[in-house]
Amino acid sequence: MGFEVWAPLPASVRLLVDGETHEMTRDEGGWWRADTEPQPGQRYGYLLDDRSDPVPDPRSLRQPEGVHALSQVQDRAFEWTDDRWTGRQLAGSVIYELHVGTFTPAGTLDSAIERLPHLVELGVDLVELLPVNSFNGTWNWGYDGVLWYAVDESYGGPDAYRRFVDACHAAGLGVIQDVVYNHLGPSGNYLPLFAPYLHEDSANTWGSSLDLGRPEVRAHILENALMWLDDFHVDGLRLDAVHALVDDSPTHLLQELAERVDGLSAHLRRPLTLIAESDMNDPRLITPREGGGYGLHAQWSDDYHHAVHVALTGETAGYYADFASLEALAKTATRGFFHDGTWSSFRGREHGRPVPSETPTWRLVAYAQDHDQIGNRATGDRLSQTLDDDLLAVAAVLALTGPFTPMLFMGEEWGASTPWQFFTAHPEPELGAATAEGRIAEFERMGWDPSVVPDPQDPETFRRSKLDWDEPYGGESRHSRLLDLHRDLIALRRREPELTDPRFDRLSAEWSDDPRWIRIRRGALEIVVNLADVPLPIDSPREVLFASRPFGDDGVPPRSAAVIRP
């Protein structure tokens, strides 16, 4: 196959390969083709109309010198060793979310491979990577990507990505890749020069929406998703902010994606998982297609995070306001969503729909911390920077023994002291300044002091956010004790069937706001959390399976949690 590109907007398109220009011919659909056969390693780009500077291929597989430079023809051949890999289903699994650039000092995929034994010993099943596709600048969260088919060179490029996935599979770990299809980054996006990719009449928080009514735009997204799962052997995708996808088509993009992915899963004979991030609290996303839903496999649950966060910290500003009572935690732990048609004071309207009781609980991904809920705080502070060890242990219990699929954010397992802040490296000064100003405006609504917000463009903001791997392995310390606690809880989750039972009708809860405690029943087990300053009297349990602090004669100690069999 020769070079081809969809470009209905320019009147002429020429191909530049290794310094030589080649004419291209156009068909009726706006596709331009050249007979020149691509050779691995060639540098190429497209000259549109009378532009003297070539622009990269919208489907470039590699950008050795950044998103403004020439693309490189990539040899997709790779000596995979995972032919016996049968995958990891989401049900019963534990997810570990990480950002490649701050997970290790080197910030590369190859250096991340060296830390896989830590994840195996911890007991996680699935490693979820924040977006890795090419973005402008030297470091970024990943949500400013513009070339979705290319792995950013700062992480090692596409071959390093394959090595990472292959190594994960050899270690028994599945890989979930975070992908962004609701917008493109603000710098290096040349797609509008080629074709009407963007819907100018519809925008979201991050810019113009993708025009999902165009078959070629839908194909650009669908084929990218299948690339990760097929070519890169990835086990699942986390779909960023799907509420920002504007699609009035008879079949929503998400449903079409789920259909395509389920078909690929059947062909590969291993589970492939689609997890949505959504602000809608709409169970249609995770309802099977035969039940009238889109057929995605799971979605994140911010409601569970908010209920846990408020219970542990007492913060009630902004979107935390409705979660002040432990009733919020009891409701989310037993019914999935807190806002399921109830009034949301932050949004100023009724919000959400109930989760059907037949839904398996593992379809909701729950967490006490994640990249958004840490990095989008004013100073990027983790719970470990405000809570003592007792309450960090309670957070671990609520995250890992709850009814949903648990997810940990990198370093959470040892109470990392390093923050995780919002960082960018936009080469354009005006773009960097606008980004910083926009974040300050967001924080004012949460009641946070804008004067303490670190400059996203300051290289120190990025460096501060890197994990310190001396902490968990530096001898007897709070970090090593918390790490042991997380290992024990994940092992307990493996041993006790009630902790992975997916039935909502096996859940119930009781609580008190004065004194503050909650008891969540999961079949024959109870998760007991005492947030009061006095012991919580309980009937003598038949068996204590886990206790964050030793029981006394008067019951569950203050500021502690336990898993018991009554």
3-state helix, strand, coil in the chain (%, to 5): 35, 20, 45
The pLDDT value recorded for residue 474 is: 76
Q: Are residues 167 and 286 in the same domain?
A: yes
Structurally, how many domains does the chain consist of?
3
Which residue range forms the structural domain that includes residue 543? 508-565
Does residue 433 lie within any of the structural domains?
Answer: no
Q: Are residues 555 and 406 in the same domain?
A: no
Question: What is d(CA 228, CA 362) in angstroms, rounded to the nearest whole number?
Answer: 23
Q: Where are the alpha helices (DSSP H) in 97-188?
A: 100-103, 109-113, 116-122, 157-170
The pLDDT value recorded for residue 209 is: 86
Question: pLDDT by residue (tens digit) across 240-279?
Answer: 999 999 999 999 999 999 999 999 999 999 999 999 999 9
Please give the C-alpha separations between residue 428 and each of 137, 424, 432, in angstroms, as whole numbers.
9, 11, 6
Question: What is d(CA 328, CA 375) in angstroms, rounded to the nearest whole number?
Answer: 24
Residue 18 burial by CB count (10 A; 0-12/13-18/19+): exposed, middle or buried?
exposed
Q: Are residues 302 and 257 in the same domain?
A: yes
Question: What is d(CA 223, CA 58) in angstroms, rounded to the nearest whole number?
Answer: 13
Q: Are residues 345 and 394 in the same domain?
A: yes
Does residue 62 lie within any of the structural domains?
Answer: no
Q: Are residues 16 and 147 in the same domain?
A: no
The pLDDT value recorded for residue 430 is: 81
In percent, how much of the chain has pLDDT > 90?
Answer: 89
- pTM (two decimals): 0.97
Q: Are residues 383 and 285 in the same domain?
A: yes
Q: Which segments in the chain show pLDDT lower than 50?
A: none
The pLDDT value recorded for residue 63 is: 98
Question: pLDDT by residue (tens digit) across 181-193?
Answer: 999 998 899 999 9
Query: 531 near 504, Cβ under 8 Å?
Result: no
The CA-based angle 196-199-204, given to 5 degrees, is: 140
Q: Tell me which residues are annotated as active site.
A: 240, 277
Does residue 22 lie within any of the structural domains?
Answer: yes
Q: Are residues 308 and 330 in the same domain?
A: yes
The pLDDT value recorded for residue 19 is: 95
Does residue 472 lie within any of the structural domains?
Answer: yes
Question: pLDDT by residue (tens digit) across 433-489?
Answer: 777 777 766 676 667 777 788 999 999 999 999 999 999 987 778 999 999 999 999
Structure tokens at 24: 């291209």
Q: Are residues 299 and 175 in the same domain?
A: yes
Q: Are residues 484 and 528 in the same domain?
A: no
The pLDDT value recorded for residue 6 is: 98
Q: Are residues 247 and 297 in the same domain?
A: yes
**CATH number (domain holding residue 354):** 3.20.20.80
Does residue 325 lie within any of the structural domains?
Answer: yes
Q: Are residues 340 and 461 in the same domain?
A: yes
Q: Are residues 22 and 132 in the same domain?
A: no
**CATH number (domain holding residue 536):** 2.60.40
The pLDDT value recorded for residue 76 is: 84
